Amino acid sequence: MGTYGDGGLELLGDPTRRAIFELLARRPRSVGELAEQLPVSRPAVSQHLRVLKNGGLVVSHPEGTRRVYRLNPDGVAGLRAWLDRVWDDALTAFHKAAESAPVDPEQESQ
């Protein structure tokens, strides 16, 4: 998924893809429905959806003559897992730094 093990976060580096991701988080939509909400063309929306789909964050299914896109729960879970790991590492590092920080003798006497 992600180039540097980032769970697909790099896919959301583009503002239009982030907007599409947020719209799909609210409910599944077709390319036309997404294009109505965004300042880009339908072909541009399709290109962004292709990137999100190839990255595993979006899936689609046919509905009549159109394709409906929604977030891929597995892809979103991978993104969340990566963020959780980064956050856990940051908290662990902060905890270690706090434990090894020298104690100010003036504060101890107060």
Q: What is the pLDDT of residue 5?
A: 56
Domain that holds residue 19: 9-98
The 10s digit of each residue's pLDDT in 59-103 is 999 999 999 999 999 999 988 888 888 888 788 888 888 888 787
Domain CATH code at residue 32: 1.10.10.10
The answer to whether residue 2 sits within a structural domain is: no
The answer to whether residue 104 sits within a structural domain is: no
The answer to whether residue 58 sits within a structural domain is: yes
Contacts 24+ apart (CB under 8 A), 62-70: 63/30, 66/30, 66/31, 66/32, 67/30, 67/31, 68/28, 68/29, 68/30, 69/24, 69/28, 69/29, 69/30, 69/31, 69/34, 70/24, 70/27, 70/28
The 10s digit of each residue's pLDDT in 25-48 is 999 999 999 999 999 999 999 999
Where does the pLDDT of residue 4 fall: very low under 50, low under 70, confident under 90, or very high at 90 and above?
very low
The answer to whether residue 1 sits within a structural domain is: no
The answer to whether residue 13 sits within a structural domain is: yes
Domain count across the chain: 1
Asked if pLDDT for residue 2 goes beyond 60, the answer is no
pTM, two decimals, is 0.76
The answer to whether residue 68 sits within a structural domain is: yes
The answer to whether residue 32 sits within a structural domain is: yes
